[in-house]
Chains A and B, each alone.
Chain A
Amino acid sequence: MNFDTLEDIGHKERSRQSKYQRRIFCCTSTACLSAGAGQVHTSLDQAVAACKCDKHEAEVVKTGCMGLCSEGPLVRVEEKESDPILYGNVSPDLTQNIVSRHVPMGGIEGETDNEEQDHSVTPHDIPYNRASLRQAQAKTELDKFIIPLNLPFFTKQVKVVLSETGRINPDKLEDYLAHGGYRALAHVLEEMTPEDVCNEILESGLRGRGGAGFPTGLKWNFVRQESADNKFVIVNGDEGDPGAYMDRTVMEDDPHRVLEGMIICAYAVGASYGYLYIRGEYPMAIDRIRKAIRAATRRKILGNSVLGTNFRFKADVRIGAGAFVCGEETALIHSVEGKRGMPRIRPPYPSTSGLWKAPTVINNVETMANVPSIINRGANWYASIGTEKSKGTKVFALAGHLRNTGLIEVPMGITLREIVYDIGGGIPDGRAFKAAQTGGPSGGCIPEEYLDTPVDYESLTKLGSIMGSGGLVIIDDSTNMPDFANFFMDFCVDESCGKCIPCRVGTVQIRKLLEKLIAGQADTEDLEKLDELCQLVKTTSLCGLGQSAPNPVFSTLKYFRNEYDTLVQPSQAVEAGGS
């Protein structure tokens, strides 16, 4: 099986898709599913079936995230020679309206327009459905549910990682191939050496999207240059930050993209086995990735002869068991090895001694998902997006006190103001913007005066936050900042593995101080102790979890010091001396 055969399959699928006059896309990603998209999808199928129209009039397509999750379930109708229309807050009832508006009803012998509804018949009965469709046709409130696709929410985004998300059926390899899938892999295997690939990724400026921002090409080169019998590639799908679901979406809705990036990486560094470590709380992502691996293996995209060449690569899934700390690379490695997920000191780094002591590349899902696009369109193209040191795009899970929340992909360098007001639609309920929190429990908050900061690695670090994995929480003026910081510290206390003393006990003591403060029982000495303790935990913790746990406290102390000061009682010594 070489790429010609696969290209053929893609071509056939494109042909097949082009036969349909209209395709109705229904989002079935986890967020929309939890809002009822499962029933919406079923009722769309039933409604289209009830039309009894020609087979090629309409196809209902199960697809992934369309971005504006706060308005889900989302359905998009793409009709030939028309602009696509996006419907939000779709209910199973509303699907009747959508289908009756867009899909022509074919005639059935013996049926008249005056057909009475027979309530004794089940909804699966075609005549019953057709009657509902005719009823729905009469209603015109459908327009209220249309979401204009020229909203800044959509137009200000630049899709690279999410290019196919919401456009393809994630369960169908043919759909991925129809959209140019695995062309990058074929190109790499036919035209590029491992060194070429590493350098291409290096030149693109791609940096780790898990939060640390380490240049990906550099990491790949380190591993490529190690001489070892075995090397491994690990894709980190642990995504533990509360509220972050970028990686989940990519794994669920474009699993082959992740696989393609992983296989290209394996070729570039000389690995023959790979693991996708997916947190246990993502059963659908696990399922879809496994399906994709099976499909890819059947088509010889994975296996002993990738695309007919002598390059061997196999991949498997490893499931996490509920530990945030397993997102840390050395803890993740121990977890894959079957041991307790506790980090170890580095050096040695995984690139020299990783999984079972072999040189290992560990990259975040989003990082891997950028690779096929970089190979297809070139490093120069990728480097033309973004800023000087932060190239390309970043996927954010936009959440919080905002009109539009959901999943967005924006070019590096876009300002926070554009994200909050243009894309996010501003703060609802007449409240005011207070801060934007990036990086989850490892990050910091950015207040209003810095809204024009470009979103890139360096600028966010300079402000006392981090890029993080993509969680972006907007909070309004109803939020109390010490309380906000305590939420994240509470999370770190829960997730600390317990190996090193500063994180295990230090975070508990920091939380005690914060709670004392919030209860109005702390004095100025306590505030000083809080700062000192945060410094200690930051500089002496063994791994990134502990090292970054105090960040929300530092950040809120820096920009919202007054909120801490108002909670503080005067020091006991001053009280005693004063009387």
Chain B
Amino acid sequence: MVELIIDGQKVLTHPGATVLEAALANNIDIPRLCHHPELSISGGCRLCIVNVDGYPNPTPSCGLTCEDGMSIETQNAELFQTRREILDLFISEHPLDCVTCDKSGDCLLQKYAYDFGISKTSHEFEISKPLYQDDNPFFIRDHQYCILCGRCVRVCDEVVGASAIDFAGRGFECHIATPFDGPMKDSTCVFCGNCVQVCPTAALMPVSRIGNGREWELERVKTICGYCGVGCQIEYALNNGEIIYAQSKPDAPVNGEFLCAKGRYGWDFATNPDRLSSPMLRRDLAFELGLTSESWELPDKSPLKIRNPKIEDSFIPVDWDTALDFVAESLANTVKEHGPDSVMGLSSARCTNEDNYIFQKFLRLGIGTNNLDHCARL
């Protein structure tokens, strides 16, 4: 273990930990914009600077490895003033549109501006990157809010492995770009939205979020994504009962705050009018059972050629008991009449491992057949 002193407090940490990590683990907060616990170190925002005994200048704590006997001071009047002046520079090129900005309440720059009491810049305001890119259905890139923390670049490189974006240009004209500033769809982007997740400002926002409610008024629902067997945790944000966007929190087991394109953007099906909300029984069978007065016959035209088929034409909703009774009886009759191997079970990668386990147990032990397959094998 390494022992050092932070703000007069003795702190024990494992070898290789940075001063920032050690401080955060001991409830000492240090302001930071470009640091992210899952990503490599940048050191570019300069907010996490601390005073180190024996060092001539304040040093960024995000990259400073703890050493035995180090003495660190994370805050004092001078550091406060320096950090405030750095924020002053940030907002000299960042429009303070907090009143109507959808990131309000979730924005790190806004948080630190509040913490350091800085509401307008003392410099001449000039936007360095007046670029607005709305070239894909998933997220908007509004560069005027970008603080070049580089988190999006690092997450795309290190976590996703797509490396679709990087810093381009130099100095004041530096901006985050796809190769040759081309459209997102022509890059290696997989639209997982993890860049949007880690962006601390409104530079990257989901399209579906814009103008759809204030951060603090949205309802949050935690659930498990149904798209594949990994079973990532998702937190949907709802405005008036409608899903606005999906994200995940760092403490989520399995995936932390990272999702894929399906989980993050593929939730429209949840409120799609075509989605089934109760079991449906084929109209001709329901007619036989006396559950409906109108039957259904196979049309002359192939069902595949019917555009926008109305589901009520061929199915009627029934309650679960009716449905389960019907299925159980029909399955049992089929097995009795034609033997267990006349039944086949086809499952899906979207079911959880547990569901798939029960499914195959049912088929093998309940029905008595090994006719089992899975969508991934096809």
Contacts and interface: CB of A to CB of B under 8 A. Distances in A.
B54 to A, nearest CB: 13
A498 B172 contact: yes
A344 B65 CA distance: 15
Q: Which of A344, A498, A501 has the most CB of B within 10 A?
A: A501
A507 B126 CA distance: 13
A505 B42 CA distance: 17
A494 B46 CA distance: 21
A340 B148 CA distance: 15
A502 B122 CA distance: 14
Contact of A501 (B65, B90, B126, B169): B90
Nearest to A496: B171
A339 to B, nearest CB: 9
A500 B148 CA distance: 8
Interface in A477-500: 493-500
Contacts of B64: 347
A554 B321 CA distance: 84
Interface stretch (A72-80, A123-131, A154-162, A536-544): A536-544
Contacts of B92: 505, 509
Nearest to A325: B170
Interface string A499-522: 111111111110010000000000
Interface stretch (B55-63, B299-307, B328-336, B347-355): B55-63
A267 B86 CA distance: 45
Given A497-B174, A501-B86, A536-B82, A340 B44 contact: no
- Sort chain A's interface into a size bin: 20 to 34
A345 interface: yes
B86 A495 contact: no
Contact of A539 (B57, B62, B123, B170): B57
Interface string B143-170: 0000110100000000000000011011
B170 A501 contact: no
A65 B56 CA distance: 42
A496 B171 CA distance: 5
A532 interface: yes
B73 interface: no
A502 B174 contact: no
Contacts of A539: 57-58, 82
A505 B93 contact: yes
B171 A501 contact: no
B86 A509 contact: no
A12 to B, nearest CB: 51
A503 B148 CA distance: 13
B198 interface: no
Interface string B277-317: 00000000000000000000000000000000000000000
A542 B93 contact: no
A147 interface: no
B192 interface: no
A505 B122 contact: no
Nearest to A525: B122
A493 B172 contact: yes
A508 B86 CA distance: 14
Given A323-B170, A508-B172, A542-B43, A345 B124 contact: no
A542 B172 contact: no
B44 A500 contact: yes
B122 A501 contact: no
Contacts of A512: 123-124, 126
Chief secondary structure at chain A's binding surface: helix
A476 B124 CA distance: 34
Interface string A326-356: 0000000000000010101101000000000
A529 interface: yes
A416 to B, nearest CB: 28
Nearest to B94: A505
A501 B44 contact: yes
B215 interface: no
A532 B92 CA distance: 16
A265 to B, nearest CB: 28
Contacts of A493: 171-172
A506 B46 contact: no
A501 B148 CA distance: 8
A354 to B, nearest CB: 16
Contact of A498 (B41, B124, B170): B170
Interface string A519-551: 000000000010011001001111000000000
Contacts of A504: 128, 148, 171-172, 174
A503 B90 CA distance: 12
B167 A498 contact: yes
B66 interface: no
A532 B171 contact: no
A529 B124 CA distance: 12
A323 B167 CA distance: 15
Interface residues of B, number: 37
Contact of B171 (A344, A494, A536): A494
A495 B89 CA distance: 19
B219 interface: no
A501 B45 contact: yes
Given A347-B65, A498-B148, A542-B44, A506 B89 contact: yes
Q: Which of B123, B128, B167 has the most CB of A within 10 A?
A: B123
Interface string B243-276: 0000000000000000000000000000000000
A505 B46 contact: no
A495 B171 contact: yes
Contact of A340 (B85, B147, B167, B171): B167
Q: Which of A325, A497, A505, A506 has the most CB of B within 10 A?
A: A505
A535 to B, nearest CB: 9
A498 B45 CA distance: 11
B225 interface: no
Contact of A532 (B85, B148, B166): B85
Given A536-B82, A539-B82, A542-B46, A509 B89 contact: yes
Q: Which of A347, A493, A499 has the most CB of B within 10 A?
A: A499
B46 A501 contact: yes
B72 interface: no
Given A529-B122, A542-B43, A498 B169 contact: yes
A540 B58 contact: yes
Nearest to A508: B172
B206 to A, nearest CB: 26
B237 interface: no
Nearest to B41: A345
B49 interface: yes
Contacts of B173: 498
A496 B128 CA distance: 14
A499 B169 CA distance: 11
A508 B170 CA distance: 12
Contacts of A542: 43-44, 46
A539 B150 CA distance: 22
Interface string B71-114: 00000000000100110011011000000000000000000000
Given A509-B92, A540-B49, A540-B82, A345 B170 contact: no
Contacts of B85: 532, 536
Contacts of A495: 170-171
B43 A497 contact: no
B58 A499 contact: no
Contacts of B167: 340, 342, 498-499
A521 to B, nearest CB: 11
Contacts of B89: 501-502, 505-506, 509, 536
B50 to A, nearest CB: 12
Closest 7 CB pairs of A and B: A498-B174, A345-B43, A496-B171, A345-B63, A500-B44, A499-B44, A505-B89
16 contacts: A340-B167, A495-B170, A496-B170, A498-B148, A498-B172, A499-B42, A500-B44, A501-B89, A501-B90, A505-B89, A505-B128, A506-B89, A508-B172, A509-B124, A512-B124, A536-B89
Given A501-B90, A533-B123, 11 more contacts: A347-B63, A494-B170, A497-B174, A501-B45, A505-B90, A506-B89, A536-B86, A539-B57, A539-B58, A540-B82, A541-B46
